[in-house]
Structure 1
Amino acid sequence: MARRIFVVRHCEAEGQPREARLTDKGVQQAAELAEFFSKIKINRIVSSPFVRAIYSVSPLAELKQIEVETDERLSERILSTKVLEDWLQKLQATYNDLDLKFNGGESTREAMARVVSVVEEVLNGEAENTLIVTHGNLMSLLLKNYQSDFGFVQWQKLSNPDVFLLEFEENEVRLKHVWQK
């Protein structure tokens, strides 16, 4: 039996903190996401516990009458616990050196293992069609796990929101970009 996992990046938010809410535009995007998925079968929704991620999928959950489960493993990757003036260059370097780690942060390999563990758990469950909601960097690392050339440049091109489909059938995984807004 084929399994499908829709990987969603949250809608536009007011900032990076855990409690940052959606902007007015982000609220509209969340409604567009619900419309996008309205005719697609979804059995389960698992989200980052960050407010912007939950609010991005709340209209869809209400429409489908599905409870949003939260999972800490879908939280955004911590690049460093210190302010990095050159954070963009440092982030880019982590796509090339998967074990590179900055003060108090996670390496690419560690963050990737964390998000992949969610996918593996979903695949071992009952749901055929699951939607997971996360953040840009973590989403890109999940996609990199299944398509090794997905990197910094592709991360930069992600939109808020964005949606990719991972289809798992037997020993094959297909990755498809499905959000075209």
Structure 2
Amino acid sequence: MKRIYIVRHCEAQGQSLHAPLTDNGLKQAAYLAEFFQTMQIDRIISSPFLRAIQSIEPLSKSTNNLIEIDDRLSERILSVDNLPDWFEKLQGTFTDLDLKYKGGESSREAMIRVTNVVKEVLESATEHTVIVSHGNLIALLLKSYQRDVDFQFWQKLSNPDVYQISYMGHEAVIERIWNAQP
């Protein structure tokens, strides 16, 4: 049975490409490595954003798996414009998957991008893969499997968060497996 672990990055100091983890985020990353300690991990693929890489570095070191960087796991760009009402605009993109703002990416485009990564993992010989990305993109990936994933679901994602997608044949079973640090 193939398993793909979808990991949302730990707490970060901002949203830019180079925003590092906070001190708490670094502690979360260490706990994330502990969380995966009893699980077999064959491969790690990450967004190129610093916060995603830093979130999974402790696991990479403890499992001796190199972190593969895949630009398709980058956070979705809603718009190149500064949108004061970005929250409402983002909400609209969960209802209308083709809604697109200046220089941005529609939900459907982002879903295709991230599901292509998962499809390639499924076609590979790897059995247990960790994919590290960002909240919006993860919500859209899960929405591609479960239509009821919506804006409220995205709002409830934690930093970090972990979902497991298990594949038995062509059937995908999705389950939230993250247990936040006590």
Residue of structure 1 in register with 2:10 after alignment = 11
The alpha-carbon deviation at position 90 of structure 1 amounts to: 0.4
Name the counterpart of 1:106: 105
Cα distance in 2 for partners of 1:8, 1:96 equals 24
- Measure how far apart 1:180 and its partner are: 2.3
Hey, what's the Cα distance between the residues in 2 that align with 1:128 and 1:118? Answer: 15
Give distance in 1, aligned partners of 2:105 and 2:167. 27
Tell me the residue number matched to 2:139: 140
Is 1:64 aligned to residue 30 of structure 2?
A: no
Per-residue CA distance 1:116-161 (angstroms, 9 max, x = gap): 0000000111110000000000000000001110110000000000
| 1:81 counterpart SS class | coil
In structure 1, C-alpha distance between the alignment counterparts of 2:179 and 2:139, rounded to whole Å:
17
- Please state whether the residue corresponding to 1:34 is helix, strand or coil: helix
* Corresponding position of 1:92: 91
Instruction: Show structure 1 runs of 4+ deviating over 4 A.
Output: none
What is aligned with 2:82?
Answer: 83
Aligned-residue CA RMSD (Å): 0.5
Aligned residue pairs, count = 180
* Residue identity in the other structure for 1:47: S
How far does the alpha carbon of each residue in 1:85-144 deviate from its partner, in whole angstroms, 9 at most, with x for none? 100000000000000000100000000000000000001111100000000000000000
Letter in structure 2 aligned against 1:156 = Q
Cα distance between partner residues in 2 of 1:171 and 1:59: 32
| Structure 2 counterpart of 1:129 | 128
Q: Sequence identity of aligned pairs in percent?
A: 56
Secondary structure of residue in 2 paired with 1:30: helix
Identify unmatched segments of 5+ residues in structure 1.
Answer: none
Residue type of the alignment partner of 2:3:
R
Q: Which moved more, 1:165-174 or 1:26-35?
A: 165-174
Q: What stretches of structure 2 of length at least 5 have no aligned partner?
A: none
Q: Name the CA distance, whole Å, in 2 between partners of 1:120 and 1:99.
A: 22
Shift of 1:32: 0.5
Query: Letter of the aligned partner of 2:87 in structure 1?
Result: L
In the alignment, which residue of structure 2 is the partner of 1:116? 115
Deviations 1:31-82 (A, max 9, x none): 0000000110000000001000000000000000100000000000000000
Quick one: distance in 2 between partners of 1:95 and 1:174? Answer: 22
Q: In structure 1, what is the equivalent of residue 172 of structure 2?
A: 173
Aligned to 2:28, the other structure's residue is in SS state: helix
Which residue number in structure 2 is paired with residue 55 of structure 1?
54
